[in-house]
Structure formats: structure tokens, C-alpha cells
Amino acid sequence: MARPFRALQMPHLRESIKDSAWRQITESGASSLSLRKIAREIGITAPAIYNYFPDRDALVTALIIDAYASFGDFQHEAKASFPEPGQAAERLRATGIAYRRWAIKYPHRYMLIFGSPVPGYVPPMQELLPVMMRSLGALTAVIAELHIAGRLEVRGIPHPLIEPGHRFFSLPDTADPGTFAVYSVAMLIWSRVHGLVSLEITGQLPPFAEDGEALYRYELDAICLQFIRPSQDGEDVISSTRSRSSQ
Amino acid sequence: MARPFRALQMPHLRESIKDSAWRQITESGASSLSLRKIAREIGITAPAIYNYFPDRDALVTALIIDAYASFGDFQHEAKASFPEPGQAAERLRATGIAYRRWAIKYPHRYMLIFGSPVPGYVPPMQELLPVMMRSLGALTAVIAELHIAGRLEVRGIPHPLIEPGHRFFSLPDTADPGTFAVYSVAMLIWSRVHGLVSLEITGQLPPFAEDGEALYRYELDAICLQFIRPSQDGEDVISSTRSRSSQ
DNA sequence: AGTGTAAATATACGCTGTTTATTTGAAAAC
DNA sequence: GTTTTCAAATAAACAGCGTATATTTACACT
């Protein structure tokens, strides 16, 4: 037989392929992803996959895009959990907490996005930039809101090399040229949560530093203390479990 | 012919294998490392490699150990460049600068150590822990020296889950139980430099944040401001390009 | 000189991604 | 209601991979 009756075949074969790929990645990591194994699992032959993805890298890219969507939803939901204008600090913390929670919930998806666990795969940045920007846009938007409210500490922040018309992130419309510091702050915060989270979920934190949660909470506190100024209308920075020496 | 004359063969075949492996990794990344390609390059057959490494993972482990040695040397040299007891802050900065410099000089080695770019490879922690600890020991020792000098800001640092006899890092002998905060601070600082450096060398910093050097210098300054207290004998914290608001 | 061993080769197995040619169900056209 | 057309599947094959097995052979020791 060459082609089964359409009534008998799975109508959403493209989705089935991705589902099987995710199952493999969840079980044994992205490095062991195999087109033939996928085909075996869903009962087709390996070349049939090429009707839905031009090659293995295209499948991986599709998986990454889906993972970014899931991650981005998580981020934006966390941001939306504190919608009041005065709650920018809480929004920042919430997105930070959500960042680690998503990474721990889907460690392989996290590594698929932010690591490079697939053998010869090189991410097509042109294709991935939009979803990447949407995901990181939650964090950037929060920081931009802090900046607009005059609560972002921007002294000493290096200027990003960006021309005015060239904006990737979702950023409220302002003419303030100092706004570009927002990008740098976003990168700095992102690199900090990424550093701790990636070391934790890859098991690279030494045995005695098992309590990733405590380290992460401390790090979020430190980030807030570094970049958030107290609001001028009496609302204080969010409560912190530690204090800081005056410097 | 089955076995060439010893006079004709390369006497250091094990080293030749590793050299060829490094060449491949440097040229096309660790994911495309191939035993058969190595054998082809140095003019032997693929199974001959099994006389020197039980399998491909053992070769990768040997490469990682060598990379750790190079990285550790770099770290300890940077630390030794400010040998005076009062120069602990400079030592911290120097190790931080050296961290990024080594990573940029050998990006594939960095990813081989701190990423997971080889298909099915799972690092044998028991074997790698010593070299890993020696490398990170430079940073930890500097922080411990700061702590002993009373210049480490440890308020609010979460306690690591470690029993007293169980020490991995090279740490000066003190009975101070608060010393364990040193471990947490080391992990926090490590995760921050790792986060920024890994994003930079994998090209994941968005296009406008190309100036990784500026971001990194800012981050090092922030780290010093957060964890180093001014010395009590008049020596101030190292000069910084930015100031901080009182909080 | 003879023997044992270690290091290399030759061969083969099963796996991978991918390409080609071929078949065939289903829909469209007449 | 045929016939044509097309898309989706299969079958077969290729090159490359890590690795296991059996075999050859140069060297060292007795």
C-alpha cells in the first residue's frame, strides 16, 4: 500500500510529528531527537515527514517557535497579574518568578530555546527574532514602564548601539532618547536570571548549592534593589527579605 | 598492512587524537565532532581510536578536563596578578575580566565546559568535579579572602545546604560558620558572569546589544558594589564608572 | 628463535538524515 | 461516470556515524 485512506490517517500529521518530537525531547532530551524514531512512533515512514518539514532543522525551528510561544504566554500572564500602573515592581518580580517556574516545568524546552542541544542545528535568527522578542518583550515592557514612571535606576547603564527607528521590543511610545537604557537593563536582568536558571536546570550548580530557589529569590531581590527606585508617591519598593548596606 | 612501524607512526597518538578533536571543535563546533573524521585526518582507522579512549564520551571528557585546566590556569593567573592582601577587590575584578576574556578567546571550549553541545554526552560529574572546583576555586578563594578581611557583604545571603566536613572549594581554614555564605556568593557571581558571557558568545544577545564588553564591565561594577564593603583602613572600593543611588 | 602481547586493520551491524523513483488514494475535469 | 491530475505516502538506496568483532602484525621478552 502506498497511501492510506484519508479517513484512516491522522488528519493532523504535522501536529502529530511535533507531538512525538516533544515526547522524545521530554523523555530523553533534545539531542536524541530522531526523525526515524518519530516516524516509527506515529506509524509512518521517515521520508513522509519531509512532506511536512523540509528537513530536521525546520522541525526543530518549529518546536522552538512553539516553545517560545509557551514561554512568552507565561511571561505575559505573569506580567498581567499585576495590572495596576503603580505595581511595576511587582510586575518585574512576577515575571522573574515565572521565568524560573517555566524553565523548571519545561527544562528541555528551556534548553532548546536558550541552549544549543541539537547537534548541527544553527538557529535561523531571522525567523526566530519575532517570537524571541515577544517573549522578552514582557520583561522589557515592565522595565520601560518603570522608566516612564521615573523609577528605573539608569545611572551608569551603557548605551546600546541602536538607531532610533530600529526598535525590536514592544515599547511605549516616547521621545525620550534615554529610553534606550531600557534595552540594556533588560539584557542585564535577562542574563542574570538566565545564568542562574540555566546552571540550575542543567545540574551544574555544585552539590551544596542545591537550593536554587533560595539563590534565585535572593537574586531577584538584588535585581529589584539595583534597578528600582522607590516611587515618589509614598509607595515603597517591594518588601525584601534582606537589607542592603548604604554605599 | 596492519600495524605500521613504530618509527613511522606518531608516538603521541593519544595527543594527536585530542589535537585533531580540538581542531574540529574550533573549526565547526563540538556538535560535529566525529571519530571517523579524526581518524581520517591523522591517517588511522576509526576503531584504532578505541585503543586510547574507550568510547567517544571518554574522549569528550578528556577534552573537557583539558579545557578546565586551561580555564583554571587563566583564572588563577588573573587572581595572582594582584597578590597583596589588601587587593582583594582588584583580584575579584581581575578574575571577572579573565573569565570573559578566556570565553571569548575559546568560545567552543567554553561551551564544551558550561554548555551541553555534544549530542548524547552526559558529563561524568564524579570525574569532572575536581577540575571544575579548581577552576571555580580561584573565584571562591578571592571571595573567602574578602570575607576574612571583613569586606564581604553577606547580609541576606541564603545559607547553602552543606555540612561542615564537606568542602569542595579551596578555602582558607577558619572555624567561622558564616563562611559558608562564601559558597553562595561565589555561585551568585558565577551565575552572573556565566549568564552574560554565555549569551554573548552564543550570539543570543539581540542585535542592538552587541557591545558585550560595556555590559560586562557594568555588570562587574555592579557585582563589586553589591558584595564588597569598603575596607576599614582607608582603602576604598575600586573605582567605578558609575555611582549608585542611596537606597 | 619462538612466543605473547599490544596496536593496528578489515569487516560488519545498526543507527542516523536525506534523496530518488514509484505507487496510489483522492479530488477535479470533462 | 470516466478520465486526468495531483499530492501524499512508500520502497529502496546512499553516505555518514559510533562501535563491536575478528584478524593481522610489529615489537618485546624469554
Give residue-wise pLDDT tens across range A153-168. Answer: 999 998 765 544 444 4
From the list A114, A210, A229, the residue facing B204 with the nearest CB is: A114
Structure confidence at residue A96 as a pLDDT band (50, 70, 90): very high
Shared-domain flag, residues A68 and A140: yes
Query: Which of B:173-232 have CB within 8 Å of A?
Result: 183-184, 187-188, 190-196, 198-199, 202-211, 214-215, 217-219, 221-222, 225-226, 229-230
- A60-63 contacts: CB < 8 A, separation 24 or more? A60/A30, A60/A33, A60/A112, A60/A118, A60/A121, A61/A123, A61/A124, A61/A127, A61/A128, A62/A18, A63/A18, A63/A21, A63/A22, A63/A25, A63/A112
* CB < 8 Å to B192, chain A: 191-192, 195-196
**CA atoms of B135 and B119, how far apart (whole Å):** 25
Asked whether residue A246 is assigned to any structural domain, the reply reads no
pLDDT at A86 over 80: yes
Shared-domain flag, residues B79 and B195: yes
pLDDT at B152 over 80: yes
Average pLDDT for B8-25: 86
pLDDT the model gives residue B206: 74
CA B46, C1' D18: Å apart?
Answer: 9
Lowest mean pLDDT among A113-122, A154-163, B165-174: B165-174
The fraction of chain A above a pLDDT of 70, given in percent, is 79
Structure confidence at residue B122 as a pLDDT band (50, 70, 90): confident
Asked whether residue B28 is assigned to any structural domain, the reply reads yes
pLDDT the model gives residue A44: 96
| CATH number reported for the structural domain that contains residue B218 in this entry | 1.10.357.10
Shared-domain flag, residues A157 and A204: yes
pLDDT at B167 over 80: no
Asked whether residue B87 is assigned to any structural domain, the reply reads yes
pLDDT at B207 over 80: no
CA A208, C1' C12: Å apart?
Answer: 48
State how many domains chain A has: 2
Asked whether residue A238 is assigned to any structural domain, the reply reads no
- And the C-alpha cell for B184? 553562595
Task: Kindly determine whether residue A190 and residue B199, on different chains, have CB atoms separated by under 8 Å.
Answer: yes
pLDDT the model gives residue A131: 95
Shared-domain flag, residues A79 and A193: yes
Distance of CA A219 to the CA centre of its chain: 17
Nearest CA in chain A to B228: A247
* CB < 8 Å to A194, chain B: 195, 198-199
pLDDT at B200 over 80: yes
pLDDT at B95 over 60: yes
Task: Kindly determine whether residue A191 and residue B158, on different chains, have CB atoms separated by under 8 Å.
Answer: no
pLDDT the model gives residue B233: 62
**CA atoms of B54 and A137, how far apart (whole Å):** 47
Task: Kindly determine whether residue A187 and residue B207, on different chains, have CB atoms separated by under 8 Å.
Answer: no
Asked whether residue A244 is assigned to any structural domain, the reply reads no
Average pLDDT for B163-185: 61
Shared-domain flag, residues A23 and A97: no
Q: Domain containing B168: what range?
A: 69-227
Distance in Å from the first CA to the final CA of chain A: 77
- And the C-alpha cell for A106? 519545561
CA closest to C8 C1', residue: B3
| CATH number reported for the structural domain that contains residue B47 in this entry | 1.10.10.60
pLDDT at A216 over 70: yes
pLDDT at A113 over 90: yes
Average pLDDT for A182-210: 89
Asked whether residue A162 is assigned to any structural domain, the reply reads yes
| CATH number reported for the structural domain that contains residue A26 in this entry | 1.10.10
More confident residue, A39 or B207: A39
Shared-domain flag, residues B221 and B142: yes
Do residues A229 and A150 touch, judged by C-beta distance below 8 A? yes
pLDDT the model gives residue B5: 52
Does residue A55 approach strand C to less than 7 Å at its CB? yes
Burial letters for A207-229: b for 16+ Cβ neighbours within 10 Å, e otherwise? ebbebbebbbbbbbbbbbbbbbb
Shared-domain flag, residues B73 and B177: yes
Mean pLDDT estimate for chain B: 85
pLDDT the model gives residue A7: 47
Shared-domain flag, residues B18 and B133: no
Lowest mean pLDDT among A66-70, A192-196, A210-214, B42-46: A210-214
CA B48, C1' D21: Å apart?
Answer: 13
pLDDT the model gives residue B2: 54
pLDDT the model gives residue A103: 97
Shared-domain flag, residues B45 and B79: no
